[in-house]
Copies of this chain bind each other. A is one copy, B any other.
């Protein structure tokens, strides 16, 4: 997630051109995504998002009707971004299915290391905040989790077809189990600023689904 250089950012009143408008909206979403992988939504004011995105104070409402609408746009953006990240590993036909899952895990570990374990999962962060968030956040957040774990389930089905995991395994349940726990592992890795919880969780999970015979 790269930030545009400061000298390229425009300041002042909202741009007249649709292209500029879209660019500013995208920049706000991109910067919002970065911020919300690190910090809470309720504790972050609109001003902080604007300041970080280099968008003039007061012009927020040209792009979003309110802060919640902005939050929902960030969720949608992050859901898609991470789905692409998952697919990159999980749909890699050159690799046996279970190794694709290991590749995703390794990629996610590198991703957390890159930001010194300061950035976690935006969906997990906002899910944890539900007590303070508007109810409209609930369904979109859960939909993103379901989408991601569906991709894991699909990969596990392929692992089963490839006889890498036992026939009797319920891939949907196991994928849900993985994603429920994986979010816990991200939380814990952020807390201890180390890959250890992610690695421990992944290792035990893979041991669990491999045939014991």
Contact = CB atoms under 8 A, between A and B. Distances in A.
B39 A187 contact: no
A176 interface: yes
Interface stretch (A17-25, A66-74, A153-161, A188-196): A188-196
Contacts of A42: 39-40, 42-43
A63 B47 CA distance: 33
Contacts of A138: 191-193
Q: Mostly helix, strand, loop or mixed at chain A's interface?
A: helix
Interface residues of A, number: 44
Contacts of A104: none
A108 B31 CA distance: 38
Interface stretch (A54-62, A77-85, A89-97, A118-126): A118-126
Contact of A180 (B141, B142, B184, B193): B184
Given A184-B180, A184-B187, A204-B174, A124 B118 contact: no
A208 B193 CA distance: 28
A142 B132 CA distance: 24
6 contacts: A40-B129, A124-B187, A177-B204, A180-B200, A180-B201, A187-B187
Given A130-B190, A176-B200, 14 more contacts: A40-B40, A40-B42, A40-B43, A42-B42, A127-B187, A128-B190, A138-B192, A142-B192, A145-B188, A177-B181, A180-B181, A180-B188, A183-B188, A184-B187
